[in-house]
Amino acid sequence: MPETTNSPDTSGICASVTDAIGYAPVVDLSRLTADLDGRILAKLEYLNPGGSKKDLISRAIIDSAEKKGLLQPGQTVLELTSGNTGNGLAMICAVRGYPFIAVMSRGNTPERAAMMRGMGATVVLVDIDDPTHGITADDMKRVEDTAARLTEEHNAFRADQFNRQENAEAHYLHTGPEWLRQTEGNIHAFCDFVGTGGGFAGVARAFKEHNPAIQCYVVEPDGAAKLAGQCISCCAHVIQGGGYAKELPLLNHDHVDGHLSVKDEDVAIVTRRLASEEGIFAGYSSGANVSAARQLLQGDFQGKTIAVTICDSGLKYLSTDLWKSDLDE
């Protein structure tokens, strides 16, 4: 098992906010599992300074690019993003003095764009074909084409989160070992909603090296579970930042023990329950992970311990239906 490095030193003063990234606490979701036999342990990655687990990979990609000479002082950094990696990169670039351009689909929440702009980023929004159909493969290609064009125009360093190994490596070197130390390795299964697949890939690798018996499940939206081999029937799911029904180069399929799909209505209910019962104000992907973990406890993993990630903050979803009530009508 790799040793965790660069964990924040809570006994002193951080040189910058980037040193405060990582080592998120793990919480037992005992209230959400009161009706089940077993435990769900949740790692609160939404408590990172940029509000998501993507802070870690943002720092890792920039650190590596600086070390390898791929990123020069004052050079523009550019990335396509649903918002969380963009938030992380905007934070890192603000501290280190790099101009940052985020290319983002209009299908993602405006809170993320506002956050990036607040940290000095330029945000380029790309139109989508039909908001009622979610972000489709064609929409993603349009974002990718725009990012490629702007990278060339600005002679920018492309963070390229879907392909850079630093993404998965950061979770292998940090998140996975943190989990194992915090739980003393007492985990039976791990389920994770995949965006780039880097978080799943890194944590699953660390888990499998520690104990091959830990079962690792990919979580996808029902109707867009391409990795599970489903026919794609609906891309209009509520979970932003993943479920794009595309292949993920960073994913090591040897570490995938199974696939779980989650329905929008279940995801929304569980996300709200996380807030109202556990006090964890998170986004849809976190609800997807907990909903999938509940499926496992209702099946072959009764009496077992399931690990999940709380991916990002619910503050990034205030404009969605997630937090609306009858009082808002």
Burial of 177 (0-12, 13-18, 19+ CB in 10 A): buried
| Of 8 and 16, the one with more pLDDT | 16
Q: What pLDDT score was predicted for residue 240? A: 79
Average pLDDT, stretch 178-200? 97
Task: Supply the DSSP symbol for 273.
Answer: H
| Given the residues 261, 285, 291, 313, the one annotated as active site | 285
Average pLDDT along the chain: 92
What pLDDT, on the 0 to 100 scale, is given for residue 235?
Answer: 67
Active-site choice (54, 58, 208, 261): 54
Q: 225-258: buried (b, 16+ CB within 10 Å) or exposed (e) per residue?
A: bbbeebeeeebbbbbbbbbbbbebebbbeebbbe
pLDDT recorded at residue 225 = 82
Is the predicted pLDDT of residue 137 greater than 60, yes or no?
yes
* Dihedral sign of CA atoms 247, 251, 256, 259 in order: negative
For the stretch 57-95, pLDDT in tens is 999 999 999 999 999 999 999 999 989 999 999 999 999
Let me know if 105 is a catalytic residue: no
The verdict on whether 43 is a catalytic residue reads no
pLDDT attached to residue 326: 46
Residues for the chain: how many in total?
329
More confident residue, 7 or 66: 66
Domains and CATH numbers, the chain: 17-52+168-323 (3.40.50.1100), 54-158 (3.40.50.1100)
Q: Grade residue 327 by pLDDT with cuts at 50, 70 and 90.
A: very low
120: tokens are: 């000095």
Do 227 and 218 touch, CB atoms closer than 8 A?
Answer: yes
Q: What is the pLDDT of residues 226-273, one digit of tens each?
A: 888 877 666 667 787 776 667 899 999 999 999 999 999 999 999 999
In 146-270, which ranges are E strands? 157-158, 189-193, 215-221, 258-262
- Residue 67's SS3 state is helix
Q: Give tens-digit pLDDT for 99-130.
A: 999 999 998 889 999 999 999 999 999 998 77
Residues 127-149 have a mean pLDDT of 83
Q: Which of 68, 66, 42, 46 is nearest to 55 (CA)?
A: 46
Those residues with Cβ within 8 angstroms of residue 130's Cβ, 6 or more apart along the chain or in another chain: none
